[in-house]
Structures are given as C-alpha cells and as structure tokens.
Amino acid sequence: MGSTISRIAKKFGLLPQYRLRILMVGLDASGKTTILYKLKLGDLLKTKPTIGFNVETIEYRNICFDVWDIGGQSKIRAMWRHYFLDTQGIIFVVDSSDRERISEARNALHSMLSDNELANTPVLVFANKQDLSNAMTPTEIADKLGLHCLGQRPWYIQGTSAHSGFGLYEGLDWLSNNVPCKAEEFSYCSIPHLFSHRNDQNEFDLKLIEMEKEVVIT
C-alpha cells in the first residue's frame, strides 16, 4: 500500500504531509473566524458570529491543520466538549483589547482544559487585536489567563493581528513543533477527498486501486 501511495504522489507532484486536528475556541468576538479565513485565503472576510462551527484545512509547511472554529457565545460554550475527541492541539483566541472580559476568558479556558479528553493537549493562545492601541501585551494576558498554572501542559502565547496576519504563522510554527505527529496521521493533503476520512476505508481502497491502474497504464 505504501509503495502505491508513493507512486501516486510522484505522478501528481504531491509532498507527504501530516494531518493535525486543531480546535480553535475563545469568547465571542475574539476574532476566531477572521483568523481562520485569513490563514485559509490570505484575505479578510466579512464575518458574523459563529453559531455552530466552521472547519477548514490550512496547509502550512508539511502539515495540514484541520481547524475547527467553534462559536464562543456563552450559551454555545457548553457544546465545546462535543468537539474534544481526537483533538491534538488547541488554539485559544483572546481579544487583547477586551479587558472587561479577560476573567471570563480565563474561566472558559480553565474549564475546558479540566476535561480529561484534553489532558496534556498543547495550547496556543493567540493574543489577537494587537494592532489596537489599548491592547494588553501577551505577557499581561498570559498572567491574567493563569497560563503559568497549567503545569506540564505545553503552552505558548503569540501576539497576533487577524487583519494584518501578524503572528499567525509563528503560532502555527509552534504548534507544528509541539504537537506530536503519529504515523497513522501521514497523508497527502492535496487530495483530501481521498485521505481525510479514515473510516471510509472501502471507498478509499477502490479509488486507490483505480488511481494505481492509471499510474501503471501511463
């Protein structure tokens, strides 16, 4: 099977990549969806409050980050736990200018991290909206969020601006270095319709056989 995938990859000029499931959460209006589509499209989109979730695959270096952006309104936060299973990394987005709700953000973060499903899952905090004049510094936010109380859990805080893109890829660099990649997460992300759903094994095998025949014939 491995040699077959390699031949297909060479035919289509693909590079081997890893898939990582990333959960992106935070209070409402912190800029999560704006960040998601800035990373995905390289542009700013007019967004509205997320009711439910958005999911996009961000290809960066040799990793496909499958990013799940979950709504942050208070009534929706109780639903976050339904997305914890198989999460390999967390992006927690904070509005650096929202001093009134920083304690609320801290409570939401620590409540989420108390779930056993997320034990030792690395946490990347995006201190977003650093372009605003009244923004708290990443150091100040780290203190107010109680990040130093997370024990052995890997964490990092990165100042960002969703509008300019400042700091976003530095955050992905940290995730790529701190979320362990397992062998079963190896794939070729440029053909996600074949490789993104691990449970569709029968359909995958049939498509792989068809593509292998094409490689052999040509």
Cite the annotated binding site by residue number: 26-33, 50, 72, 128-131
Q: Which residues contact 114 (CB under 8 A, 6 or more apart)?
A: none
Beta bridge partners of 63: 18, 60
**Which two three-digit tokens encode residue 101?**
């709700």
Annotated binding site for GTP: 26-33, 72, 128-131
Q: Which amino acid is at 148?
A: H
Residue with tokens 């990549």: 17
Pairing of strands 17-26, 63-70: parallel
69/53 Cα distance (integer angstroms): 5
Of 17, 73, 158, 201, which is the active-site residue?
Answer: 73
Q: Degrees (nearest 5) of the Cα angle 141, 161, 85?
A: 70
Q: Which residue has the tokens 């201190």?
A: 127
Take residue 37 and report the two structure tokens written for it: 């589509």
Pick out the residues of the known binding site for Mg(2+). Answer: 33, 50
73 is catalytic: yes
For 80, how many CA atoms within 13 A lie in the half-sphere containing its CB? 30
Locate tokens 């049939």: which residue? 206
Specify whether the CB–CB gap between 101 and 73 falls below 8 A.
no
Residues recognised as catalytic: 73
